[in-house]
Chain A
Amino acid sequence: MQWETVIGLEVHVQLATQTKIFSGASTVFGAEPNTQACAIDLAMPGTLPSPNAKAFEYAILFGLAIDAEIGERSVFERKNYFYPDLPKGYQTTQLDEPIVGAGIVDIALEDGTVKPIRIHHAHLEEDAGKSLHEDFIGMSGIDLNRAGTPLIEIVSEPDMRTKEEAVAFARKLHSIVTAIGIGDGDMSQGSMRFDVNISVRPKDQAEYGTRTETKNLNSFKFMERCIEQEVQRQIEVIEDGGTIRQETRLYNGDTHTARAMRSKEEANDYRYFPCPDLLPVHFTPEAIEALRATLPELPDARKTRFEENFGLSPYDATIIALDANTAAFFEVCAKQCDDAKLTANWLMGEMASQLNSNDLTIKDSPITAEQLAGLITRIKDGTISSKIAKKVFEAMWQGEGDADTVIEKQGLKQVSDTGALEKIVDDIIAANPAQVANFVNAEPEKRKKMLGFFVGQSMKASKGQANPQALNQILMTKLNQAANS
């Protein structure tokens, strides 16, 4: 049977405010435990929440960036459950009247098409503290520094159909969040966390299958693996005659496996009600417009600009415009070498694969935009071939200097000199009489194919440094002479 995967995401983004959403305690990551947890964060009797304006402004900026309706009035609710890292016994969150309503996020697919993913809404809420289970016998340690850190939870519609779409969507959100500066996007510190809802259904079935939710994925790689495994698991269960249970699963990043959480009975009965400690929050249309005016260039606008000003294809433009640092690198490089297409190819090819395999981002690239432009310039002026350029890139990556230095030091300059090339070709022809005879005896239209052997041999003899166009021409001339003589 053909199966279709249906994926929806809930994304938690920590907002980059100085202080908590409801208290003036610091949110800096990595402080000594409980040194940034004040009486409000600890839910001491008699304390009242004091909402942080910046958290609302950041949430609104996100809403504006995805063209969503902004809640001019938003209301907080209490979501009631007991867990030691939630001192109040409820999470202050939003339900019916969130700050950000429905919106759209476009993602680019590999085939170059653009797919809109609908956002159901995004709401403000507080993060919980952390529980440490390892170090104490029979006890858990609680650190409440994170308690009360402002979050927006972005809830998508179940619009994604493959793991690639889900990752593209997650990356797009990451790029928007970092572009508008409302979050640092540092996933290793939990600044962005994904809950993935996954179900499968027969390809032509209209209704959704039963879904499971895997919580707290904090990397794109984990997310991709988790979806792969969960889809496989669900299909196997169904094909073996079983049914999928609606359950919450936890992914373990060390073992790359997920397991169902022991779900307590009635665990999902949160008994929401409006928080009596907080009044409705109002933002006027003027205040919202003033925030809109502060939005920087967004990835989508940058993409359009790259298409129009640099002639990039929609797919290339989307990939490069996604991340602000990659975009800046591209602009510097493309302007300096005056070849946007080659710059895009190198960025998405050699550069991306080196960064990936070394687990680096473009900010950490040992090759600067200026240096890459230098390399591309040498391809364009015929000093080196594209093939040799990869060798030069490798050396530049290893810190052996800029392109000219590497070319000079390793003697990689392309041989375009006709005399030198003719000498090579003569030697190859002399050394391979059998192949030359074959060539001469072949039908003229088949000769072109047979040229490959000679090109390969000559290229080898030149240690890859022969100018391919010049070499081809000389070979053609000499072999045809042989054929006609």
Chain B
Amino acid sequence: MEPSEIQKLANLAMLDINEETAKETASSITDVLALIDQLQAADTDGVAPMAHPLDAVQVLRADNITESDQRDTLMTVAPQTDSGLFLVPKVVE
């Protein structure tokens, strides 16, 4: 991995990292990738891809309303609100 690739991933993840961190992360991830290469060498023919490490099936819930309006409580942790809306720095696309 190159530090530039790390910077690109950091941008996508909205992480602000400096050059030094990018360099360190690149080298440690390169080590991890070596491990993954080793895993890739294993013969997985006829093995179904794993979607989850737990060998279990998702339990589904009945379609009944169980949540009541908690807006006022939830808004106490928001930096800024107005007229029942969460306010964020302007986003326009």
Contact = CB atoms under 8 A, between A and B. Distances in A.
Given A24-B61, A280-B57, A34 B86 contact: yes
B10 to A, nearest CB: 12
Interface of A: 17-19, 23-26, 32-40, 42, 44, 50-56, 75, 80, 82-84, 89, 97, 131-133, 135-136, 138-144, 250, 261-262, 266, 269, 271, 274, 276, 278-282
A136 B89 CA distance: 10
Contacts of B4: none
B7 to A, nearest CB: 11
20 contacts: A17-B63, A24-B64, A33-B83, A34-B75, A35-B84, A39-B74, A51-B61, A83-B91, A84-B86, A84-B91, A132-B85, A136-B87, A139-B90, A142-B86, A262-B93, A278-B58, A280-B51, A280-B58, A282-B57, A282-B58
Contacts of B54: 279
Given A38-B70, A82-B14, A279-B52, 5 more contacts: A34-B75, A139-B89, A141-B87, A142-B85, A266-B8
What 3 pairs across the A-B complex have the smallest Cβ distances?
A24-B66, A141-B85, A54-B63
A82 B13 CA distance: 8
Q: Please classify how large the interface on chain B is, using the bins under 10, 10 to 19, 20 to 34, 35 or more.
A: 35 or more
Contacts of B36: none
A262 B92 CA distance: 10
Contacts of B51: 75, 97, 274, 279-280
Interface string B10-52: 0111100000000000000000000000000000000000011
Contacts of A34: 71, 74-75, 84-86
Contacts of B88: 84, 139-140, 142
A36 B58 contact: no
Nearest to A55: B63
B57 A52 contact: no
Contacts of A25: 65, 67
A53 B59 CA distance: 9
Given A19-B64, A279-B52, A141 B82 contact: yes
A243 B77 CA distance: 50
Chain B contact residues: over half helix, strand or loop, or mixed? loop
Of listed B51, B57, B65, B66, residue having the most chain A CB within 10 A: B51
Given A35-B71, A75-B51, A281 B85 contact: no
B67 A131 contact: no
Contacts of B12: 80, 266, 269, 271
Contact of B52 (A35, A54, A280): A280
A273 to B, nearest CB: 10
Given A97-B51, A262-B93, A279-B57, A18 B64 contact: yes
A52 B90 contact: no
B84 A33 contact: yes
Contacts of B61: 24, 50-53
A140 B91 contact: yes
B81 to A, nearest CB: 9
Nearest to A276: B52
Given A139-B89, A140-B88, A262-B93, A279 B80 contact: no
Given A18-B64, A35-B69, A266-B11, A138 B57 contact: no
Contacts of B14: 82, 89
A208 to B, nearest CB: 27
Contacts of A38: 67, 70
Nearest to A141: B85
A24 B75 CA distance: 19
Given A34-B85, A35-B84, A51 B90 contact: no
Contacts of A271: 12
B60 A281 contact: yes
A32 B69 CA distance: 10
Contacts of B69: 35-36
Contacts of B58: 51, 278-282
B69 to A, nearest CB: 4
Given A26-B65, A50-B61, A52-B60, A140 B52 contact: no
B63 A19 contact: yes
Nearest to A282: B57
Nearest to A269: B12
B62 A143 contact: no
A282 B55 CA distance: 12
Contacts of A261: 93
Contacts of A136: 82, 87, 90
Nearest to A73: B51
A271 B14 CA distance: 13
Contacts of A26: 65, 67
A188 B93 CA distance: 22
Nearest to A35: B69
B3 to A, nearest CB: 17
Given A24-B64, A139-B80, A133 B92 contact: yes
A84 B9 CA distance: 20
